[in-house]
Amino acid sequence: MWKDQGTTGTKGSENGVVLRDEEYKERCRITLERCDKYDAITCGIYGAMFHTLFCHEKESEGKYEAMKKDLQDFIDSLPASEHDQNLFHERFEDKY
């Protein structure tokens, strides 16, 4: 289950206002923030991957939910080989 990190309304890593910030199984985290000219979605799998997507505010909620689902599916499928993990990271970054 995703856990809210309690940072809503604070300043995020892209200098925007945090709208959502969640962690999954203490293995990954995803944050949505509203910046002046765009929204930023920052996510990471601890010790393995860090990625930021910039998008229009009209599409940010949908992107956030899709990214969250992909991250959750990956975490739930672990353990995976190093090759499979690297393949996921590459595909995720290409997709988003």
**Rounded CA gap, 79 and 66, in Å?**
22
**Can you give the pTM of this predicted structure?**
0.94
* Positive/negative CA dihedral, 90, 21, 68, 2: positive
pLDDT digits (tens, 9 = 90+) for 27-82: 999 999 999 999 999 999 999 999 999 999 999 999 999 999 999 999 999 888 99
What SS3 class is residue 67? Answer: helix
Distance, CA of 60 to CA of 76 (rounded, Å): 24
